[in-house]
């Protein structure tokens, strides 16, 4: 058996998989996000351990025998979080999360140093880790002075699991400290934020062994000795491993809290930071990937749900099954700023074109379309970076809405594949990495794609109307940007 642990923003998911890659069971522990000030987003790392313990305890209640047979554990996690530890591994402050935008000034300053884009292949986004440390140095100098280790969220779980300070390439590529082409820490980039390589974890590939489970945890969970913990992956690369998106031309769109358009690149590192596309290491050796990221996908629908007092399912059911032509209302989903293509931490969302006739359903339709158009922005950015896609596979909670998938297919003018029944997300990808690390199996043979259950084609008759609505959507950003200045 193999265990995948996925540390998300809203919870920790634990998934058991057998040697034939059949899912045996899964369980979760919930997490909350603290927002003490506008633009801030934090979590207490102690809550990650509590949620992981809860998830594994629930698994043990129903699958104790399978848990006892675990030989490898893989880790996946939300990227970019700054988890700061002192000399004794004590947490110095709450972790600053991926969707925290307080360090936008520090990010702009670092991005003005040409070596960052040259070495990392990426814009220095406010959500990345390096500007967060620059913010801590400026605003909490007494904490910065005590920093002995900077760990990403999943790697803090690894420290708890194994006692090792280690990370891997895919997650570390989102820090702005990694030489992404050479797959190693950059001493000069670290020095630019007054840090040293000794404060970084050791680096391995996501398929490598990166410690063994501590005996006291193995005993508590009923596992045997010598359980290998894999390097693992950042959440999107782990999802790609779960989906089999590891070869040239393969791509997925993820509708989670954030939205991602992810394209694998076999042995080709093709950065184009000017397009605001992320160029990161993949979790598999000598493999990279590109992705466009929007900060609010299902988060936008959940916000609309909170405002209207209706569940997301109720809201989308009001639209029916058949895709409608875009109306006069346009929604920009920039509730916490935006990454691709704008790299703008301060911009905020807007409804435009409201009238007396704008019902709740009309607003819901606009929210779904706004996210679809934001993903289209990522597609255009990927094209500018030299990536051509012929189809995408949909994953994430938002992919349960057929209306939304039809909207995305039509906005992208690409077919959207739905995988056969099963959970092929980050926890499954992490379990696959645990299997590879424990057995030495061929990564390409393990990380295969699921069968396609159904393909949702673009609504050909609505493609022109969607194109017109997308161009209207594109014109709104500069208008609201100027109004906000």
Q: What is the pLDDT along the chain (485 residues), one digit of tens a residue?
A: 999 999 999 999 999 999 999 999 999 999 999 999 988 999 999 999 999 999 999 999 999 999 999 999 999 999 999 999 999 999 999 999 998 989 999 999 999 999 999 999 999 998 999 999 999 999 999 999 999 999 999 999 999 999 999 999 999 999 999 999 999 999 999 999 999 999 999 999 999 999 999 999 999 999 999 999 999 999 999 999 999 999 888 999 999 888 999 999 766 788 888 888 899 999 999 999 999 999 999 999 999 999 999 999 999 999 998 999 999 999 999 998 998 999 888 899 999 999 999 999 999 999 999 999 999 999 999 998 888 899 999 988 888 899 999 999 999 999 999 998 777 889 999 999 999 999 999 999 999 999 999 999 999 999 999 999 999 999 999 999 988 76
How many other CB atoms are found less than 10 A from the CB of residue 148?
15
Closest CA to 414 of 448, 369, 452, 375: 375
Catalytic residue among 235, 299, 344, 417: 235
Helix 360-384 to helix 463-484 angle, to the nearest 10 degrees? 90
Q: Name every residue whose Cβ is closer than 8 Å to that of residue 107 and which is 6 or more positions away in sequence.
A: 124, 125, 126, 128, 131, 345
Assign residue 354 a region (left: φ > 0; alpha: ψ between -120 and 50; beta: otherwise).
beta
* DSSP β-ladder status, 83-85 and 149-151: antiparallel
C-alpha distances (whole Å) from 378 to each of 229, 276, 300 are 34, 9, 17
* 8 A C-beta contact, residue 398 and residue 406: no
Question: How far is it, in rounded angstroms, from Cα 423 to Cα 25?
Answer: 11
Coil/strand/helix, residue 4: strand
Sign of the alpha-carbon torsion through 230, 235, 238, 242: positive
What gap in Å lies between CA 179 and CA 281, rounded to an integer?
10
277: which residues sit within 8 A by CB, 6+ positions away? 290, 291, 292, 340, 378, 381, 382, 384, 385
Q: Is the pTM of this model over 0.85?
A: yes
- The pair phi, psi for residue 477, each rounded to 5°, is -60, -55
Q: Determine contact, residues 168/233, Cβ cutoff 8 Å.
A: yes
* Torsions phi, psi for 46 (to 5 deg): -60, -30
Based on the residue annotation, tell me whether 235 is a catalytic residue of this protein: yes
């Amino acid at each position: 058996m193999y265990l995948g642990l996925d540390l998300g923003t809203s919870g920790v998911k634990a998934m058991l998989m057998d040697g034939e890659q059949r899912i045996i069971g899964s369980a979760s522990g919930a997490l909350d996000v603290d927002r003490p000030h506008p633009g801030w987003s934090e979590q207490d790392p102690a809550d990650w351990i509590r949620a992981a313990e809860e998830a594994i305890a629930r698994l043990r209640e129903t699958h104790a025998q399978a848990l006892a047979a675990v030989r490898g554990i893989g880790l996946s996690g939300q990227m970019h979080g700054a988890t700061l530890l002192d000399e004794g591994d004590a947490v110095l402050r709450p972790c600053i999360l991926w969707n925290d935008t307080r360090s936008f000034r520090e990010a702009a300053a670092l991005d003005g140093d040409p070596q960052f884009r040259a070495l990392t292949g990426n814009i220095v986004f406010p959500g990345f880790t390096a500007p967060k440390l620059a913010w801590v140095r400026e605003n909490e100098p007494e904490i910065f002075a005590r920093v002995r280790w900077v760990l990403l969220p999943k790697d803090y779980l690894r420290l708890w699991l194994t006692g090792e300070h280690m990370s891997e390439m895919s997650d570390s590529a989102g820090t702005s400290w990694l030489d992404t082409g050479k797959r190693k820490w950059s001493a000069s980039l670290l020095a630019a934020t007054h840090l040293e390589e000794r404060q970084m974890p050791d680096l391995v590939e996501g398929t490598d062994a990166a410690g063994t489970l501590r005996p006291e945890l193995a005993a508590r969970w009923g596992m045997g000795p010598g359980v290998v913990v894999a390097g693992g992956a950042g959440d999107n690369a782990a999802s790609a491993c779960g989906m089999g998106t590891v070869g040239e031309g393969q791509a997925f769109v993820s509708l989670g809290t954030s939205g991602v358009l992810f394209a694998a690149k076999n042995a080709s590192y093709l950065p184009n930071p000017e397009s605001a596309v992320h160029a990161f290491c993949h979790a598999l050796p000598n493999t990279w990937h590109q992705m466009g990221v929007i900060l609010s996908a299902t988060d936008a629908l959940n916000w609309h749900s909170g405002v209207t007092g209706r569940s997301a399912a109720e809201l989308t059911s009001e639209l029916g099954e058949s895709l409608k032509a875009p109306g006069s209302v346009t929604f920009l989903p920039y509730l916490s700023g935006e990454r691709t293509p704008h790299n703008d931490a301060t911009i905020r969302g807007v409804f435009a074109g409201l009238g007396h006739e704008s019902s709740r359903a009309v607003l819901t339709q606009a929210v779904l379309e706004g996210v679809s158009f934001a993903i289209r922005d990522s597609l255009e950015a990927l094209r500018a970076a030299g990536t051509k896609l012929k189809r995408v596979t949909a994953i994430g909670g938002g992919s349960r809405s057929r209306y939304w998938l039809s909207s995305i297919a039509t906005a992208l003018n690409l077919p959207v594949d739905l995988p056969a029944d099963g959970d092929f997300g980050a926890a499954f990808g992490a379990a696959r990495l645990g299997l590879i690390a424990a057995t030495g199996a061929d990564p390409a043979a393990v990380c295969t794609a699921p069968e396609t259950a159904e393909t949702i084609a673009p609504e050909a008759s609505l493609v022109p109307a969607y194109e017109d609505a997308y161009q209207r959507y594109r014109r709104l950003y500069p208008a609201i940007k100027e109004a906000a200045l």
